[in-house]
Amino acid sequence: MLKVSDEASLDSNKINIDEVLNRIGDDVKTPFQNSFLQECGYMNILIETIVADLFSISLAFKGELTLTGEMEDLMNAIFLNKVPPTWEKLAFPSMRGLNSWLDNVKQRLDQLNAWKDEPTKLPKVTFLNRLFNPQSFLTAIQQVKSKEGIELNKMTIYTNVQKKLYWDEDLQEPKAGDGALIWGFQVEGARWDA
């Protein structure tokens, strides 16, 4: 998961945005790429904070740093399996315990790492519930479609529920301008009418 052995491990967990921009090249960035680049920025800030906080605590345990009240609050939150408020402030809304929350951070990081390998393509399926700002991605869908001459403020998102799952081999990627395949919509107090 996240390594905390030294400050050098910080760079191994962060997404190198400059490298992603080099892979995109001189082409004009699409709204999807802008959305994913924003997500990478949010993730980098979160990872940097988590690793720096844990590294400070490890230095305090070694006696190389004075233990502060903020560090004690952080350790208490970790002990109680709660997301520390400093991390929660930089992250996504969640009611999860710390263990589940860190697993979710890893899944979000995995999605971004998969995208950064081929940043010129939209992922076959985007896990909407693994984005810090899902509204940005939904707006990107509208922006791509608006290039066909439709006014952005007159557009709405249309959702077509598929019976296929994201891991099905025969799931076809959407054509440019047709939208995106999304996984992660949740319905509470109702069900899909098959």
> What pLDDT does residue 117 have?
87
Retrieve residue 107's tokens: 């899944």
> How many angstroms separate the CA atoms of 99 and 96, rounded?
8
Query: Hunting for tokens 């004075």 — which residue is that?
Result: 66
The CB density around residue 96, as the number of other CB atoms within 10 Å, is 14
Say which residues have a Cβ less than 8 Å from residue 112's Cβ, sequence separation at least 6.
15, 36, 39, 40, 43
Residues 6+ apart with CB under 8 A from 15: 40, 43, 44, 109, 112, 113, 116
Q: Taking a C-beta distance cutoff of 8 angstroms, is the pair 183, 130 a contact?
A: no
pLDDT confidence tier of residue 42, bands split at 50, 70 and 90: very high
Provide the angle, in degrees to the nearest 10, between the axes of the packed helices 31-62 and 69-79.
110
Q: Is the pLDDT of residue 184 over 90?
A: no
Token representation of residue 128: 């909407």
Residue 129: band (very low, low, confident or very high) from pLDDT cuts 50, 70, 90 = confident
The predicted-structure confidence for 107-127, as pLDDT tens digits, reads as follows 999 999 988 888 888 888 888
Can you say whether the dihedral through the CA atoms of 28, 33, 39, 45 is positive or negative?
A: negative
Q: Which two tokens stand for residue 139?
A: 């707006």
Residue (of 107, 167, 168, 177) closest to 140 by Cα position: 177
Residue 75, Cβ neighbours under 10 Å: how many? 17
At the topology level, CATH places domain 9-183 in Substrate Binding Domain Of Dnak; Chain:A; Domain 2 (1.20.1270)
Indicate the Cα dihedral angle 133, 16, 49, 139, nearest 10°.
Answer: -10
The pLDDT tens digits of the residues spanning 138-171 come to 888 888 878 777 787 888 887 777 776 655 566 6
126 φ/ψ angles, rounded to the nearest 5 degrees:
-105, 130
